[in-house]
Amino acid sequence: MAPGSRLRGFLVGAVVVVGLFVLVVAATIALITNQRRPVAEPDPPSASATSERPDRSPAPEDPEGIEVVGERRLGERRMELTLRSTALADVTKVRLLLPRGWSREAGRTWPSLWLLHGGLDDYRAWSRSDVERLTEDAQVIVVMPDGGRCGSYSDWYNGGDGGPPRWATYHLKELLPLLESRYAANGERAIAGYSMGGQGAMLYAASGRFKAAASFSGAVHTLMPGVDIAVMLGTTAGCFGTDWKRIWGDPRGDREVWEQHNPYHQAAELRGVGLYVAAGDGRKGEGELFGDITEELAHKAATAFAGRLRELGVPVETHFYRGRHNMTYWNRELRRALPMLLESVGVKTG
């Protein structure tokens, strides 16, 4: 090859690399901007509706590793728990929406719908949605746990040493049994989440513990070029001071660990689970100056993930639309997916 041709090839390659880096940085900034919007808190409850009850004497049937240190009623259906988790080596919180007629002494149990938040958010994030209104007549316990700002719904690799935070262990082996031993939940479960929570919903469903799962703009192919860099930069920028390699290691040297936490590579484990996958295109709309690069990446990941499911013969309902990476669209997708999610656990709708 002539020197001039080699130089041109090098320059083109450099431009492509720089361009991709700029796009991913922009996606990370957009993600932080979208996810840091204030959470709309519920109306302040009356004094009679609120109680803080430290519970330092777990019942014999409670699972090991978790302790209820506070229980607060925020209204007729809303309850907030403060928990001490061994898996996290920390105190954390979870919000519940209880069905009408719920009580520990009711002599019955209820199915549960888990809603997972995205990166840089927390357990209060779904308070921005219409979930309370959408489930007001549903006989289901809605579970909204904290998953860490950059937790990735995973037990962190920590250079191969393991140890806290172990988010998957906390959710699936501490919180889940606690809800079933103390808060009248049963073994019929569905799960949904947005962004990082969409990844978590599919990973947790692949564990065999949920009948149905929905991903809204989810990080469902974390090894896709561009998405992988966004995950790294998102952790670095959104959780300042956190080494992104603590979560799954380096994708070059620890690829197997990444694959174990990548819904795309775990797609075969979702056979028999009711599945819903949605994402917007992130394209610039009328009157908008810029598109939404975060949602563009989510759309590419969702398309690849859905394609992989179909290659494996795993049924999936998809909805790809014009839209961006924010709660306006996730709220709409929850409304669309909710009948399937509830019916999968035996809750009548309509």
What whole-number distance in Å separates Cα of residue 43 and Cα of residue 45? 6
Whether the full predicted model's pTM is greater than 0.75, yes or no, is yes
Residue-level length of the chain? 350
Q: In what order do the strands lie in the sheet with 141-145?
A: 66-73, 78-85, 90-97, 141-145, 110-116, 185-194, 212-216, 274-280, 317-321
Q: What is the overall mean pLDDT for the chain?
A: 87
What is the band of 21 on the pLDDT scale with cuts at 50, 70, 90?
A: very low
**Segments making up each domain of the chain, as ranges:** 6-37+55-344
What whole-number distance in Å separates Cα of residue 274 and Cα of residue 152? 22
Note the pLDDT tens digit of each residue in 325-347.
999 999 999 999 999 999 999 99
Structure tokens at 177: 């049994």
Note the pLDDT tens digit of each residue in 47-86.
334 444 444 444 445 688 999 999 999 989 999 999 999 9
Q: Which one of 3.40.50.1820, 3.40.50.300, 1.10.1370.40, 3.50.50.60 gives the CATH number of domain 6-37+55-344? A: 3.40.50.1820
